[in-house]
Amino acid sequence: MIMDGPLPPHGDTRGYPLVDNYRYLGCAITPSLLLTDQVKSIGGKIFYLRGQLAPVLRGGKTRFNASLFRTLAFPLYRLAFPLYDLAGRSDQESFRIAIRKQARAFLGVPQNCPNRIIEGILGDLGPMALDVCKACDSLLGSRNQFK
């Protein structure tokens, strides 16, 4: 649809709603499309998941909880991996910290559990995200225009 003039900030245009934040298939689509926006959105979803699964997670063993995390929660983070190399170093580190923090909570291990144990369960997060970024570049072309 081609618009004449500036877009109104909210409301609708010719029957199409205009929103600042749209959630679709586990992603938060915002005008800026930042990694931090994805982390906020994913954190809320995982908090809800953890609340719904609390009786199962409390009674399960760590291996079972890790399998649940890899099956239900980790795919949400994998959807944000293509944005990983477009973010700054501090945002990349915040992203890795958020994944490890949510994994610790999901597994029921203490927050002072070493990172190497969490990454032993999940895999090394930085190279994993960069591999997904390279695959996206090879399939879709360069994303450097978005930096």
**How confident is the model over 61-89, as pLDDT tens digits?**
888 988 889 898 888 888 888 888 888 88
Q: Classify the phi-psi angles of 11: left when phi > 0, otherwise alpha if psi is within -120 to 50, otherwise beta.
A: left
DSSP 8-state secondary structure symbol assigned to residue 6: P
How many independent structural domains does the chain possess?
1
- Name, in order, each residue with C-beta under 8 angstroms of 110's C-beta and a sequence gap of 6 or more: 104
Position 21 in a domain = no
CA distance 62 to 107: 6
User: Which carries the bigger pLDDT value, residue 147 or residue 93?
Assistant: 93
Position 133 in a domain = yes
Q: Give me the domain span that covers residue 54.
A: 32-146
Per-residue pLDDT band for 122 (boundaries 50, 70, 90) equals confident
Per-residue pLDDT band for 52 (boundaries 50, 70, 90) equals very high
CA distance 23 to 80: 13
Position 87 in a domain = yes
The model's pTM is 0.75
